[in-house]
């Protein structure tokens, strides 16, 4: 089964790189959003996973978007941000955060973990470089 992934990132080059890596790892990237409006439009394509930045083109709305994607739409959300401290102890419903810039191997491990969680795998092992939320 191909897992559909959405990317919420406003920096064009970073978004393009993430999209390419996701595709090269064998996942289906359904699109990139850069703000709240485009993220909520993109979620209509029913992604299972979202990679979300904190600071977007409409401000520091990533945590709000991530919470909505997780709580309203059941999307597995991980933040990819240069400053994970902005997320404090976490965002309700979301799974964790990874620090940018993210290495390909780390992103691969994060996506594999998210797939395991999506499949309700009991022994899903979170990547070492991912900060888990409670």
Q: Which whole-number Å values give the CA distances from 28 to 40, 67, 84, 91, 101, in the listed order?
A: 18, 22, 26, 25, 21
> What predicted TM-score, i.e. pTM, was given to this entire model?
0.95
Write the burial class of residue 100 (CB in 10 Å: 0-12 exposed, 13-18 middle, 19+ buried): middle
Between 41 and 86, the higher pLDDT residue: 41
Instruction: Please list the residues that pair with 8 across neighbouring strands.
Output: 33, 52
pLDDT at 2: 61
Domains and CATH numbers, the chain: 4-132 (3.40.50.2300)
Q: Which of 88, 84, 75, 86 is nearest to 102 (CA)?
A: 84
Query: If you average pLDDT over every residue of the chain, what do you get?
Result: 94
pLDDT number for residue 121: 87
In tens, the pLDDT along 17-32 reads 999 999 999 999 999 9
């Amino acid at each position: 089964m191909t897992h559909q992934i959405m990317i919420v990132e406003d920096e064009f080059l970073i978004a393009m790189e993430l999209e390419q890596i996701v595709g090269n790892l064998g996942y289906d990237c359904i699109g990139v959003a850069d703000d709240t409006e485009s993220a909520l439009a993109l979620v209509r394509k029913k992604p299972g996973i979202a990679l979300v930045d904190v600071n977007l083109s409409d401000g520091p709305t990533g945590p709000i978007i991530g919470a909505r994607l997780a709580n309203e739409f059941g999307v597995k959300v991980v933040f990819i941000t240069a400053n994970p401290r902005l997320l404090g102890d976490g965002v309700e419903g979301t799974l964790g955060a990874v620090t940018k810039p993210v290495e390909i191997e780390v992103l691969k491990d994060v996506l594999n973990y998210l797939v395991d969680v999506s499949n309700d795998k009991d022994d899903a092992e979170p990547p070492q470089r991912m900060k888990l939320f409670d």
